[in-house]
Structure formats: structure tokens, C-alpha cells
Structure 1
């Protein structure tokens, strides 16, 4: 490594040995890019791996390989008298891992060439390992990770030290930092188990990755830090994105990117190749992610060379839903309960005006207005998105039952209706003809009879009605009315 590369390596990487159980590696202290290389061992049925030295370990399809053997699997259990952990899934929970039972003699168990890297670029290498042994007196794996040039020149090395036994399966991240040569980006990744085989020294390996590491890249939305929350239907303004990186790049190339799937994939924004970018986000409900990537001008077209800033997010939140319910009739001395509905993202609600109402903060308050009144159910989400709906409460002294109607299709008085029969009274309404046959029946619903039975006009004459109320809220009503044709 030349002096310039070494200074840049120290400037924006640093070397940290973290004491946490889940991370034991050299860590990039600047900004990382996306995975340039990602070895996951696939999913489905396993097979012999090209990553194992030909003179080293032997593949076997068993989930409990013996000393000197390995397998590719998505789980292992009940091995060697239950001295191994039951490892029910790989590191990410959705694929395979490599399971290695160490040879008696220490040696390499993983070896591969890596070609999809950029020259003169610092990378963070990482791999996840799980000690599958359970007894505390067993031999502990001790893995040395080495990054080499094809001629054997070592670019970086890291020794895991003894990987301890745990009470349950625990995936631990190991890794190191290195810089590719200026004249060749091809490297060799070697993993060697320094401990002897025998009683222990058995491990699972998964998710081997290489990510470019560079100076700290920061991005923000002007006057809004890194997050903006808007509401559906709002006028979406133009936002100004800004970013910066240290002077480690002599000829930096900037590229703004956007994502609509929370960063699973990114698309370059055409023409957005400066440290600032102005944009009017889409108005549709959704989450829109942005970031600034940086690399040397010489590698502008190679995404595996780029490092990326912190993520910026603009969220268009849906409006909450407000439903004040059907219009109601308040028969004096018989209070009405409103039936409001409010849904959305962490909503709050309130009835307005807060008059003649027992609890304005309830979706089902009891109201007793002295005169006709309109109540508004106002709903607001945690992101200040608002919606409202009205319900009219009409006031009547008593239930009025019409004494006649004329179903002749002239548009006037064609239906026998009871206008002040509120649905909250749960009235059961029955109509009988002169011979006592029921010709109309409705329960807890608006009354509207067109003078027909099964589509057949009923004759003119006197009909009898009977109205009863749930829980005897009101006394039973009986009477007659006339059908006139």
C-alpha cells in the first residue's frame, strides 16, 4: 500500500475492535456503499461448494458432517449426541449456510477469488459465524480471515481469536478493512481454522460480503433534516437536497438516487450529479427514499465503487377516515347515541361543537340537543393529516306516523314513511291488511313501503300498523293509515 492510499485508509476507516457479541471486526467509520459481493450459499437443496479448497474438506449431504467434512444446509439438529446446537435457520432466516466440522489438522476451509471490486478502493469485508458446539469444554474455532493479491501479497488479515461457546446459537459478525491495489482489483479471500479438530471446533458460516468504505458522506433536506412528513392531498412543494463529503476524493463524482422500496433497490436520478438537488416528490401516498452516492470520477459508471450517504425520507401519509354515521332523530327524553368511525395512522378525534354531548372525545357519545344540530367528527393523525364528517341530529317532540299515502308513481307521497323513527330506537314495524295478513315488515331500518307485496300492488283501503321498540324504550304504537290509489 503506497503512502497516499495508507493515509486515505486511516482517514476514513479507522480500526475498531468492538466488544459486542454480535460484531467482532474492523469497522468502517466513514460511509459504506452497497454490497459489491454477497455470498449467501443460496437456498433449497445444497450441493458441493466451489469455495472450498480442493485439497481441504469433503462435501457430504448430511446435516451432521464428520471431521473434515462440510455441507450446505438451512438447518442442523440432533447431531453427535446433541452436543451441537439446533441451528434452525441461517443468519438472515431465509436461506442456506455452510456447516463445517473441522479437520484434525488446522487448515484452510474457504478459498475464493473475488473479481467484482474496484481498484485503489477501500472495502469492508464481513462474514457471519456461529460456533455450533454446546459443551463449554469443547475446542473453540479460531478463524483467520486473509485478503491477498493473486501473487500472495497480503492486503489485510484478521484473527477472530477463540470463538466462545454460547447457550443458544448466536451468529457473530467478523471482518476487516483492506484497500485494493491501484493496478488490480482481483483479490483472494482465504479463511483458515487455526484450531485442531476433534471434540469441537465446528462452525457455521454465512453471508460473506464486501462493501466499499469511504469518507463520511452526509445528506439532508434543507430546513428539514432527514425526514419530511406530508399528507395526502397536500400541495407538495419543491424540496432542496444537499450533501457533502470530505476532500478525500480529488475528483469526486456525485449521484443522487431514489428508492420506493425502503432501500432494497436504488435508481440513479438522471442529471442529479451535484452536491445539491431540487425535486418535487410524487403526490401519491407512499414512502420515497433518497441518498447521495460518491466515488472517484474514474469509476463513475461502476456502482460497486460508490459509497452512500445517510438515507433521506419523504412520506406522503394517507388521510385518516372519518365517518360520523347516519343522520339521527332525537325524540325528546330519549337520548341519541352517535356512531362515529375514525381510522388511520395513530388517530385522535373530537366531536364539534362540544355542546349537549356527554363525551366529545368518544366515538359513541350521547347527544341531547334542544334543537336541530349538526355535529362534526374531526379526525387527525399523528402526522397532522386531517379529515372530518358531519351528522345531522333532528329534534322531534314525538314520532309522527302518516295516516295516508298514494303509491301512484306521480312522485308525490308514493311511499309510506315514518320520518322521525330513529334507527337507534331499533323499532320493529309491521303492517297488516284488513284480513290480518302481514304485508310489510322492517326491523331497525328506515320505513319505506311502496304499497306492494312481492311486486303486486295492494288494494286501496285501511291498513293497520304496529310498532314496538327494543328494550321498550318507547311504548308500543298502534294505529291505521289509508292506501289511496
Structure 2
């Protein structure tokens, strides 16, 4: 796609200079509409056609090497991008996803002019701004592009020559605009592109959106003597506006002016007879919308030539609706709370009045510590910058805060429910909602799985006041009667029971032979084997837990403390009574020196005859240890051998 309104012999001049200072200079005054535009076109194909202008660079479809260029939508998918050498860059033209750009890989063989073209249709004696957007596509440091644009007359006179300076690496959206101004001597110019740098490791860039625009004087806009370019007008108001332009001298020898207005479709149309730097327009209740005007300026005789004129910034009158209805955040507040007034309308002023001599010009004033004397009617007058005025009134009441209460409750068993009952408000909000049947009533059913503190917010329509209650969930009773026990008849044993749960009581059965059947660790003295059952019960009627313990009672072993093994048939043997009840019992007798004189394992009612190694032991005191092997403690003591 070439420059619109001129031949394709426009020339772009891209100079790659390793060092240099940016010399581009944008138009400092007012710009006209783009009269010449080159954006390399658009299309559905990934690559666009070669440029029709003169160039000594090779056109390729694909990734360009040194001395080549391509016309492309994006660098995405190219090998240099995949390798991390290039950025993934798309074309610059706004709102043109299918637009193309020129991607250039600088020539590493020679420097000099590599592109030249002619632009025609310009106005002699007019200052223009030539501009282009350029991006360094290198993702890594390397030789930086430096582009020189040279504008010459048809006779070779240099009208303007400017450099971009080194274009640094950046992000994939770091497009930069470079521009320079020149004054025409005829309707045609030559544009040259020069490359004074070398290619190789870098010097790869893209260019897009090249434009010529007339550059006029500085224009300072005013509306009704105020140095602004935008005003607002209420649709209900009839008003006259005077648009003025302060034009700096020196650009045009004999300037000529013409005012334009923007049509609904976005195009501009002339306002006949409006040829001074002032324009007066009366708005008589026009439809809501934006009304735009601008002043054209050109050398006399050229005002109707689009390529020869510049224009002022847009003057805009925004016709707007009246302000929206004003409202208060609440029509009632509680004593001691903050009254929050709210009247948000963009670009407006406010005048509030109310009880107790209240007055404010804030948009949303706050009145702290509300008292009874602050009840009444509040009024606000809203005036927009466009002149619309809206008055709103609202009656506000200051009321006492609610005093919420919750009826006391008892604890509950796990898996049970209880009804909560709050009072003191008009509406209620419970939190957390876990385990509640509803959260917006006064009396929800609570079924928490664990002890939970609930907070209820009681509201009177103006404010909320919280209070809380804790629902205690009792742990289920769990009985553990402890390990089975063994004891000798006539002795005692303590039961080692355990129990968990909340608010629990204990009961042993049968209660016979227990010192206290209502404690966890009673002392038992049964005369024979017995099974005790521990029952653990919650005082709140939760589930009952039971467990059993067996107490084994052994007959008491009678151990003589003396015998006389003299063969007279009386008390000749040391015989342990009831030993036959302990078939695995072991018996050991030692003398005073600790020497074992009698040993019996698996005692089977074979008493000691007072012999050791078939010889009578001397009379005297001996010591015994009897291990019944039942888990009971060993029996020990002394016995006397009498001869």
C-alpha cells in the first residue's frame, strides 16, 4: 500500500548508525490531518507484497537475512524469535490485527542510500512534519539501528535531514515515533534512506505508519475567554459559547482561517463564513452528546486544500443529563453512629443544609456522633459544571441502638440440636452459619459438631449491634475399665479404669466388695473370681458407655515357717498348702550363704524333705522364694529346719 493521494515513488530513508545522537524534531505547533500515509497495507496472508518503490534490498517471503526485507504482520514464528534473538513484534497500526509492517535486516556489505522515492501533491511554501514509527526487534544487545531520513527538493537541495539516534532494545511493544519538519519549495520532494552502519550482530528493525502532515503555528484554544478546549453543558440549559484561538505568528506569511464542525459519522464539514479566529455557537437544548469544532489554518489561497492546512485542537461541548437523584446512604442512623450523606455526581458542586445548623459543601459529608438533635430533613443542591441544578431532600431519623439478648441455653450432646432465641432487634444475622438451620431469623436451630460461639447481629433498620452465645457440645462418654486384675484371696486390688467425656459420672456393678462404686479407681476385695462392669454416663443424658474388667482371685497359699525332717513321721516335710493350684509355680530355698539347697519347677505337690544332694541339711534358718507365675508378686520368707 503506497502513500494515499501521491505516487508510490515516496522514499523512506533508513540510516543505521552505530553511534549518534537523536536529532528528530517533531512539529511544535498544530498538525493537520495526515495527507500522506503509508502503513504497508493489510491482508489475510502472513506476508504482504513487496513495496513498489525503488530499493536495492531483496524482498523475501520469510525471515530476512542481511540486505533483505519482508512485509509481515508479526515476527512470531520466525527462527530468530524461537532462538531468543528477536522479539515477537506485531505491526503498529492501531486496530489493525491484519496490518503489515516492513521488517529490515541491515546490509553488512556496504553503506549508503538503499531506498529512494518521490512524493508529490504537496503545497509549496508549507511546513510539513514527516514521521515514522520504528522498533528495534533485537531481544539481546547488539548493533543498534540508527535511521536517517533525508528530504530534498527536486534540484537536490536538502530541505531536512534528521537521525533517529541509536534505537535501544526494549519490549515487544516499544515502538518509537521519530519525526522531522521541513518547508516545501515546490509540490514535489525526494525522500532518501541512507545506511551508514553495517549489519551482522544486530541492526534489525521494523518500520510502520509513515505520515506527512502539515505543521502549522501553535494554537492555544479558549472557550468563553477561559483557556480550555472542553466545556460541559446541561441539556436543560440554553447557552452561547465563543471559541477563540490564539495563533502564534511566523509560520504563515498571510494566514487564512476556516472553522469546521464534526458530523455524527465522525467526518468534518465546513462552517461557511466562519473565517476568523473566533466562532460563536448557541446551544438551545440540543440532544445529549459531544459537539466538536476545530479551526483550520493555511497560507492564504490554500485553506480549501487538505494537503496544505493544519488545524487546532478539538473544541468540545459535552451536553449532559441532569445529575442523578441524590440519596443518603441510610434514612435512619443509631445514636452515636456516623451520619453519611452521599451525593456523587461528576464535575458538580454541592450545598448541604440540615438540622442543628448543619451545612457543608462536600460531596459526601460525614456527621460524627449522631444525636437526637440531628433528626430531621437534609437538603442538598447539586450544580453541575454544565449548569444543571438538582435539589434533593430526605428525612433522617436518629434512633436508639438495638439491645440484643440471647436466651441462656444448656450444653448439648454430640449429634443433638438446640434452639437459639435472640431478641431486641427487627432483623437478625447470625455468624458463622455452620450448624445453623437459618442465619436470618431470631430462633435458628443449632446443631454444631463441636463447641461453637455464635454471634448474632440485631438490627433496627439503622444499625446492627452484636452479641454472642457459645453452644457447648459435650464429648461422648467413653469407658475403659482397665486391664484385668489378679489377687490372692484375702488381699485387695485397685481397679485402674479411665473415662473420657464431658459432665460424666461413673458406676461400677456389682458394687459388692468395692470401697466406692462411684469412682474410677475403687479398691476391690472379692473372695472369689468376679467381673466388674464400669458404666460412664453424661449428666445431660448423652449416650452410655460400658466396659468390663475381670478380677481373678487365687486361694491363699499357706507356707509353713518351720519343719523337722527327723524321720519321726511328724512334720517331716516342708509342704506348701494349695500349691497344686499353681502347676507352673517354681520354688527356691537357699541357706544363709545364698546357696540353693532346694529347687522345684512346675511345683506338683512334692514337698522338700530337708535334704540337699541326698544329705540332710544342717538345722537352722533358710530362705525361700515362691514364684506362682500368675502375674502375682513372688512369695518370700524364712523357714526353720529343726532336727
Q: TM-score range by the shorter chain?
A: 0.5 to 0.7
Shift in alpha-carbon separation, 1:249–1:393, aligned structure 2, 3 A: closer
Shift in alpha-carbon separation, 1:351–1:252, aligned structure 2, 3 A: closer
Counterparts of 1:75-114 in structure 2 under 5 Å?
75-77=74-76, 79-80=79-80, 81-90=83-92, 92=94, 94=96, 95-105=99-109, 106=111, 108=113, 110-114=115-119
The reply on whether 1:257 has 2:260 as its aligned counterpart is yes
Q: Deviations over 1:11-66 (max 9, x none)?
A: xxxxxxxxxx9974133344332221122223444411435535432131x3x322
Alpha-carbon contact 2:129-2:181 (below 8 Å) kept: yes
Distance 1:336 1:375 in 2: 17
What is the SS of the residue equivalent to 1:304?
Answer: helix
Distance 2:170 2:214 in 1: 35
Shift in alpha-carbon separation, 1:244–1:345, aligned structure 2, 3 A: same
Distance 2:165 2:352 in 1: 65
Shift in alpha-carbon separation, 1:325–1:58, aligned structure 2, 3 A: same
Distance 1:326 1:28 in 2: 52
Among 144, 147, 168, the alignment partner of 1:143 is 147
- Structure 1: 5+ residue runs without aligned partners? 1-20, 397-424, 429-442, 445-469, 475-485
Distance 1:390 1:290 in 2: 39
TM-score (norm 1): 0.63
**Structure 1 vs Structure 2 CA RMSD:** 4.5
What is the SS of the residue equivalent to 2:240?
Answer: coil
Counterparts of 1:4-403 in structure 2 under 5 Å?
24-45=23-44, 46-53=47-54, 55-60=56-61, 62=62, 64-77=63-76, 79-80=79-80, 81-90=83-92, 92=94, 94=96, 95-105=99-109, 106=111, 108=113, 110-136=115-141, 138-149=142-153, 151=154, 153-160=156-163, 163-169=166-172, 170-182=174-186, 185-227=187-229, 229-232=231-234, 233-239=236-242, 241-246=244-249, 249-259=252-262, 265-281=267-283, 283-324=286-327, 342-345=343-346, 352-355=353-356, 361=364, 373-379=376-382, 386-392=389-395
Alpha-carbon contact 1:52-1:109 (below 8 Å) kept: no
The structural deviation recorded for 1:176 is 2.7
What is the SS of the residue equivalent to 2:198?
Answer: coil
Shift in alpha-carbon separation, 1:353–1:363, aligned structure 2, 3 A: same
TM-score (norm 2): 0.49
Distance 1:392 1:270 in 2: 55
Distance 2:71 2:337 in 1: 68
Q: Find the counterpart in structure 1 of residue 541 from structure 2.
A: none
Distance 1:348 1:161 in 2: 49
Alpha-carbon contact 1:131-1:163 (below 8 Å) kept: no
Distance 2:217 2:192 in 1: 27
Shift in alpha-carbon separation, 1:374–1:165, aligned structure 2, 3 A: closer
The structural deviation recorded for 1:125 is 0.9
Distance 2:197 2:21 in 1: 21
Alpha-carbon contact 1:100-1:202 (below 8 Å) kept: yes
What is the SS of the residue equivalent to 1:200?
Answer: coil
Q: Deviations over 1:150-200 (max 9, x none)?
A: x56244342526524324353333333322234xx1333232322222222
Distance 2:279 2:162 in 1: 44
Shift in alpha-carbon separation, 1:345–1:51, aligned structure 2, 3 A: farther
**Bigger Rg, structure 1 or 2:** 2
- Structure 2: 5+ residue runs without aligned partners? 1-19, 400-424, 429-439, 442-456, 462-643
The structural deviation recorded for 1:85 is 2.4
Higher mean C-alpha displacement, 240-249 vs 224-233: 240-249
Shift in alpha-carbon separation, 1:277–1:377, aligned structure 2, 3 A: closer
Number of paired residues? 380
Distance 1:303 1:181 in 2: 18
What is the SS of the residue equivalent to 1:299?
Answer: coil
